[in-house]
Structure 1
Amino acid sequence: MASGIPIEITGLTKQFGAVTAVDDLTFTVEPGKVTGFLGPNGAGKTTTLRVLLGLVRPTRGTATFGGTPYASLTRPFESVGAALEATFHPGRTARNHLRVYATAAGLPRSRVQEVLDQVGISEFADRRVAGYSLGMRQRLSLATTLLGDPGVLVLDEPINGLDPEGIKWIRGFLRSLADEGRTVLVSSHLLSEVQQSVDEVVIISKGRLVKAGTLSSLELDAEAQTIIDSPDRRALAAALDAARIPYTEGRNGLIAAEPDPAVVGHAAFVAGVEVSSLHRLKSGLEESFLALVNGEAE
């Protein structure tokens, strides 16, 4: 296995005519971790990955593997495994698909069976890819990236469209790759898809970095609120209105835009409204993520 090396994006900008797809983007992906590269569709994730892999030339800035551009890697297939847009000849079997790639990369044929076993599709290796489910195609795509036993994995939306069993498998598999010391970068437009498998997140929106750090740091960015309920919600709502405390109606009560339950409870007390529940509520990771990409948080 090639050793994991950092992915380094520095001041990266890519313009297509008048459109700026990536705007002065800087972040680092470290070995031994699974990093989620997140943002809504059209945020610039795929363009960034295509620049990183030498498929698109940047307008400004650099995207390297430990300081070395992909085109300058001595044996790129054995350093970096990448899966962006997986395409397969429908008439080929999975085994023959992998043999073509192994031959092109100068790798021993023994690697074909090894990666088939690694991703769990040996039983179906001699079936034509045309008959594969989406989950099996995703596994074959991952097998292709692993042929060179690379230290860096760059995967674009690998969980997209998988069933629950496939999602559970790929989460565990990505974790095992990082535990071996590899650098694993996984893109997704949904935090919920990857939050159980990533250590770090890099979030972009409209081509710009909006957050880079651990999942726990993302949770700390969540805005605290207070949930309060009463047998008489109409009176409770009037009490919050009178106290000028903004709120929305939730399933278990009114969600007040006020972090201190004492302030919310006092508003109800002053109005003589009976309170049946009162506690601090913190937004979840997904809410924090959506706030960031929608420009609602710093």
Structure 2
Amino acid sequence: MASGIPIEVSGLTKRFGQVTAVDDLSFRVEPGRVTGFLGPNGAGKTTTLRVLLGLERASAGTATFGGTPYTRLEKPVATVGAALDASFHPGRTARNHLAVYATATGIPKQRVGEVLDIVGLADYADRRAGGYSLGMRQRLALAYTLLGDPGVLVLDEPINGLDPEGIKWIRVFLQSLAKEGRTVLVSSHLLSEVQQSVDDVVIISRGKLVKSGPLSSLEIEASPSTVVDSPDRDRLRAALDQAGLAYSEGRNGFIVDEPDPGRVGHAAFTGGVELNSLHRLKSGLEESFLTLVGDIGPDGPDGHPVYPTGEEA
């Protein structure tokens, strides 16, 4: 197994014509941990991953593996395993599908059987992939990423559409990869899908970073907070600062580290700030996540597609 190395994204910007899909994005993914790369459809997740894997060229900034771009890695297959657009010929067996890639990349064919066993497909290796369930296809995609025994795994929506049994399996599997010292980055548009799997989160909205850190930093039930918003956010920010209230800013307002909305409202009143939202935040991780990212539809910001083709970014 290649040793895990950090994923480093610094000042990354990607534009498609007049549309900015990723905007000055910076974050770091550490080895030995599962990091959730989160945001609604159209937030810029897939674009970021495509730049990271050398499939798109950045307009500005960098996205590297331990400081080295994917295209300059000495042994890319043995360093990074990625599954973005997993597709299989329905007439091929899983064994044959993986053998083609193993031959193309110089990986010993015995590795095919090993990875099929690792993901629990050994008994179905000679069945045609066209007859696989969604969960089995997800496992086959994971087997493909493990062919080179890489130290870094980049997975795009690996839990999407799985049944409860499949979700439980993949959660345990991802954690086992991290415990081996690998760097694991998993994208999802729903926090609820991955919150039991990840150690850290990187949350983006409209191509910008809105939160990065341990999953525990999103925990709010033990320390309830208040959500407040105003048409004049600059004045509200100043009022919160004047009152000595700690807060973070999301698309739907400020999340204030104060369980009493009355105290937050008084701070706004003292500062002469008009409010259009004031309520206690107490519903847990998912509400915190939604407050941070706001509501973006599948066509991206303001109803416009992030890709000119309408493809998710």
TM range (shorter): 0.7 to 0.9
Residues 225-278 of structure 1 deviation map (CA, whole Å, 9 limit, x = unaligned): 69xxxxxxxxxxxxxxxxxxxxxxxxxxxxxxx834999xxxxxxxxxxxxxxx
Once residues 62 and 261 of structure 1 are traced to their aligned partners in structure 2, the CA distance between those partners, rounded to angstroms, is 41
- Which residue is 2:209 aligned to? 209
Question: Which residue number corresponds to residue 188 of structure 1?
Answer: 188
- Mapped to 1, the partners of 2:2 and 2:203 lie a distance apart of 28
Q: Which amino acid aligns with 2:121?
A: I
Cross-structure match for 1:20? 20
For the aligned residues, what is the CA RMSD? 2.0
Task: Give the structure 1 partner of residue 229 of structure 2.
Answer: none
3-state DSSP class of the match of 1:61? strand
Q: Deviations over 1:58-84 (max 9, x none)?
A: 000000000000000011001000000
Q: Map Cα deviations across residues 175-211 of structure 1 (whole Å, 9 max, x no partner).
A: 0000000000000000000000100000000000000
Q: Which residue of 2 aligns with 1:200?
A: 200
Matched residue type, 1:106: G
AA partner of residue 166 (structure 2): G
Residue 48 of structure 1 corresponds to which residue in structure 2? 48
Q: Which residue matches 1:288?
A: 288
Identity of aligned residues (%): 79
The aligned residue for residue 176 of structure 1 is 176
Alignment-derived partner of residue 89 in structure 1: 89
The question of whether the paired residues in 2 share the 8 Å contact of 1:222 and 1:283 is answered with: no
Q: Which amino acid aligns with 1:110?
A: Q
Kindly report which structure 2 residues correspond to 1:55-66, keeping only aligned pairs within 5 A, or say none. 55-66=55-66
Q: Flag structure 1 segments of 5+ consecutive residues without an equivalent.
A: 227-257, 264-279
In 2, the alpha carbon distance for the partners of 1:60 and 1:41 equals 23
Q: Secondary structure at the match of 1:51?
A: helix
What are the superposed Cα offsets for residues 9-41 of structure 1, whole Å, 9 maximum, x if unpaired? 000000000000000000000000000000000
Taking the aligned partners of 1:259 and 1:216, their CA distance within structure 2 comes to: 18
Displacement of 1:281 after TM fit? 7.2
d(CA) in 2 for partners of 1:218, 1:281? 12
TM-score (norm 2): 0.76
What letter corresponds to residue 52 of structure 2 in structure 1?
Answer: L
Task: Note the residue ranges of structure 2 that are not aligned, 5 or more in a row.
Answer: 227-257, 264-279, 296-313
Inter-CA distance 88–285: structure 2 relative to 1 (3 Å threshold):
same
Alignment of 1:130-279 (within 5 A): 130-220=130-220, 224=224, 259-260=259-260
Higher-Rg structure is 1
Divergent runs of 4+, >2 A: 220-226, 258-263, 280-283
Q: Displacement, 1:47?
A: 0.2
TM superposition shift of 1:98: 0.5
Aligned residue pair count: 248
Helix, strand or coil at the partner of 1:292: helix
Q: Alpha-carbon deviation of 1:224?
A: 2.7
How has the CA–CA distance of structure 1 residues 224 and 117 changed in structure 2, closer, same or farther, with 3 Å as cutoff?
same
